[in-house]
Amino acid sequence: MGRGISLVRMILAGLLLAGAVFALAGCSPVEGPQMMQARGDQCVEPLEVIRRDHMKLLSHEKDQAVLFGVRNPNHSIRGCVECHVSPTASRDDPSSHFCLNCHSFNAVRMDCFQCHADKPANDYHFHALNPHGPGFGFDSAADSASLARDLESIIALETQKP
């Protein structure tokens, strides 16, 4: 009795496998989705690394940044969005959003953009290797505006009687 059942199971499994092989063999290569062209000539890592391991880099970066304040603009999700998403991107037009587009094409669920901004901000925060970017360290360094603000409040503090 038990043998009979396992035999039936094996036959069924074999049939399924064969079906899958035939189905795959019948497929022509699928055309990839139309992707937005990145704003920049070079990615932060070699293509094969970033393609395979971007989630690991991001995950490492997320813990470092959130827990220890160690922010590496080259591996921040914000950096990805700056180059790969159009400032006028819309979720209804997948081709304007590199990340969402590829993820939906490959049916890989991610929830980054439930919290993270899904569009670049108005000021440009390119990563260090982007030739259009302001250079290494830009993201963790004070910019001119913040410098002015700091000085302003310090002067205000010094002149003010508590």
Partner 1 sequence: MSHDSTPDLSRRRFITGAVGAVASLTVAPGIFLMQTNAQAGTKPGARWGLLINTNVCGDCNACVTACHKENGVGSMNRPTTDAQWIRKVNITDRATGHSRSLPVMCQHCEHPPCVDVCPTGASFRRADGIVLVNKHTCIGCRYCMMACPYKARSFIHEHLTDQVPHAPRGKGTVESCTLCVHRIDKGERTTACVEACHTEGNGAMVFGDLNDPNSEISRRLAEYGGAAIRADLGLNPGVRYQGL
Q: Which residues bind partner 1 (CB under 8 A)?
A: 34, 36-37, 39, 62-63, 65-73, 78, 81, 86-88, 93, 95-96, 114-121, 123-125, 132-144, 146-147, 149-150, 152-154, 156-157, 160, 162
Q: What is the DSSP string of 36-48?
A: PPPSSS--SS-HH
| CB closer to partner 1 out of 9 and 60 | 60
| CB closer to partner 1 out of 26 and 69 | 69
Name, in order, each residue with C-beta under 8 angstroms of 116's C-beta and a sequence gap of 6 or more.
77, 78, 81
Query: Tokens at residue 38, please?
Result: 């990145």
Shortest distance in whole angstroms from residue 52 CB to partner 1: 22
Shortest distance in whole angstroms from residue 62 CB to partner 1: 6
Task: Tell me if residue 68 falls in helix, strand or coil.
Answer: helix
Shortest distance in whole angstroms from residue 162 CB to partner 1: 6
Query: What's the CA gap between 119 and 82, in Å, rounded?
Result: 7
| CB closer to partner 1 out of 48 and 158 | 158
Q: In which element (H, E) is residue 35 found? A: none
3-state DSSP: the chain helix, strand, coil percent, rounded to 5? 55, 0, 45
| CB closer to partner 1 out of 6 and 160 | 160
